[in-house]
Amino acid sequence: MPDASSHTANPRQTHTHNSIPSYGSSSNDVHWFPMRVAYDKDVLTICLALNEQKIEYFLPTDDAVVVNGESTTVVKKPKLKDLIFVHSSKSHLTELKHKNTKCRYLRFITYIPHSEIRNGMTLMERSASNRIIIIPDAEMEQFIKVVSNDKINITLIPYSETFNHIGRKIRILQGPLEDCVGTLRRIKNNKHVHFDCGGIVTVQLGYMRKEMYELLD
């Protein structure tokens, strides 16, 4: 199996500025989709199926050592057990979910645009307003670059709507993430650099010296 932590070739969310509404584009257009893995199914099994179908995906992983008697084996352990990023079209993934038993537990992640939310919405109205979250290519490429770099310490945390209202955009000037654009946020009196991804998850870096970045706004 290819290294799932690298960019391999082969609950409802609310809308954020990092997400792109799925309407306005064809269901055959290729995008990056964040997808949930339902019912605690093994995401690595799904990766095998995606490899067989030659569908590009990204799964953040760590190396874990498994001891079996006197032997040890290094295996891939997903950083996020129920989330995978898949690069394909909506129509192709929908067909795959129906025809491939290993992929039937994949779920698109949806949101309702703020402009369409109102009190007293019926289930039918909510269903009609749902949009599938799509991650812009440039945002996904940066996310992969940050998560895949083994020279920096990162923490993956769920994205919070509070993040929409705090923080300042910065550009990294030095080191392995030079030229990456993130957000500097103060959380519980500590400053952290975040790289957001689709309003689903954010990569949080540890302390960064001021000379290592510049403010963009």
- Please indicate, yes or no, whether residues 152 and 128 belong to a single structural domain of this protein: no
| Measured distance between the N- and C-terminal CA atoms of the chain, rounded to whole angstroms | 43
Number of domains in the chain: 2
Query: What pTM was computed for the model?
Result: 0.81
What does the buried/exposed string (b/e) look like for 123-143 if buried means 16 or more CB atoms within 10 Å of the residue's CB?
A: eeeeeebebbbbbeeebbebb
Where is pLDDT greater, at 67 or 192?
A: 192
- Please indicate, yes or no, whether residues 116 and 47 belong to a single structural domain of this protein: yes
- Please indicate, yes or no, whether residues 71 and 29 belong to a single structural domain of this protein: yes
pLDDT recorded at residue 76:
82
Q: Is residue 49 part of a domain?
A: yes
The single-letter DSSP state of residue 182 is E
- Residue finishing a domain among 109, 132, 155: 132
For residue 57, which of 117, 118, 10, 121 has the smallest C-alpha distance? 10
- Please indicate, yes or no, whether residues 169 and 95 belong to a single structural domain of this protein: no
What does the buried/exposed string (b/e) look like for 167-188 if buried means 16 or more CB atoms within 10 Å of the residue's CB?
A: beebebeeeebeebebbbbeee
Structural domain containing residue 200: 137-215
Neighbours of 118 (CB within 10 A): 9
Q: Is residue 74 part of a domain?
A: yes
User: 3-class DSSP state for residue 25?
Assistant: coil
For 80-136, what is each residue's pLDDT tens digit?
889 999 999 999 999 999 999 999 999 999 877 666 777 877 777 666 667 899 999
CB burial of residue 112 (10 Å; 0-12, 13-18, 19+): buried
- Please indicate, yes or no, whether residues 100 and 196 belong to a single structural domain of this protein: no
- Please indicate, yes or no, whether residues 141 and 211 belong to a single structural domain of this protein: yes
